[in-house]
Chains A and B, each alone.
Chain A
């Protein structure tokens, strides 16, 4: 789906956990998430911890929309 969106000329960032799948399939901008059932917030941690992580990674994804890249890129996250 990401590829079809990009093919239509709309910049897109994929937040996902299975990075090898995303890179093989050919997503161009990828931001890692922490798991499959809870990509953006571990329920074993406090709400504040989850929120910090989610806010950070969504922010990385938003910034990635402006990034001028030549080839596929997996973005680094701090939290």
Chain B
């Protein structure tokens, strides 16, 4: 029989409420609290339960994780389950933290469950299976059932379905599947269009993630003193693509020195973007990365300085998560050189 280890907080272990939230990590043999419900449905034995106070985990996260990982060093287990945490914020974050650490150290599947309002969802949904849970412990049985049925699939080596089908928050991972219907994208697209025209409900295959607005940054007060950097998602690179940026679903970016050129020459630069006909940009890369116009404005004194490099990646099929990561890496370079503003072109 496969083995599972479960993580719960002091409250669900029956130790106490807020007054005992500083409870230090402990490991006990067997299933306790919610694990009892879980064990009745799980195709695995819950050999141990880890307990930790939410505040202890919140205020001494590194220590708590270290202690818990040390408990687990000599244990054999095939899966690690935490919670459900419902709407309990600290508990949710604790479940996420410990699951992430366990996954990194022991490379076993980690599962947890939280309500959508739990801040742990946004923090950890990309790192692990976070199942969509109820608001309070009244939903314990339902939440545990969803976790158990998915856990059993993993334990039995069965195929698992999409986030929607299985009931966890999308992790931002795209999987290619053969549709049982055998319908092509064209057929499905036309069907959706007909439904839309008839005012009938339809389900997009490309849901746009929830909006996330960013406050407008303080504008440049004096352009003639500003240092500006230029960037593109249009895949303009030196012809040998030295950073081997992918033509689609890019995970890499590059930056290329333009301090000594007046424009991007054809034959020296090209586009590797797979989402459009490259002919125009290969013939004149400035139509995507307007180095020539920027250099002219610089000479005319419209702005103070041009950052020595332009930055490039490919924007087609690239996930938001990858784009965010690449941007963060690039921002470090911009800040090092005290760049004041950015002009970005996309295709």
Contacts and interface: CB of A to CB of B under 8 A. Distances in A.
Interface in B181-212: 208, 211-212
A4 B331 contact: yes
Given A3-B212, A43-B283, A67 B223 contact: no
Given A9-B218, A28-B216, A38 B288 contact: yes
B218 A15 contact: no
A17 B295 CA distance: 23
B297 A39 contact: no
Interface centre among A9, A38, A66, A71 (most CB of B within 10 A): A38
B293 A65 contact: no
Contacts of A40: 286-288, 290, 293, 345
Interface residues of A, number: 47
Contacts of B284: 41, 43, 50
Contact of A37 (B217, B277, B313): B277
B231 A1 contact: yes
Interface in B282-322: 283-284, 286-288, 290, 292-294, 296-297, 302-303, 313
A65 B223 contact: yes
A79 interface: no
Given A11-B220, A37-B280, A37-B281, A16 B343 contact: no
Given A1-B344, A15-B346, A43-B287, A6 B279 contact: no
B101 interface: no
A36 B287 contact: no
B279 A13 contact: no
Nearest to A69: B216
B33 interface: no
B234 interface: yes
A46 interface: no
B219 A67 contact: yes
21 contacts: A1-B326, A4-B328, A9-B217, A10-B334, A10-B341, A11-B218, A12-B341, A15-B343, A16-B345, A22-B346, A33-B345, A38-B281, A40-B293, A41-B280, A41-B286, A54-B287, A58-B294, A58-B343, A59-B302, A62-B228, A66-B219
Interface of A: 1-18, 22, 24, 26, 28-29, 33, 36-41, 43, 50-51, 54-55, 58-59, 61-63, 65-71
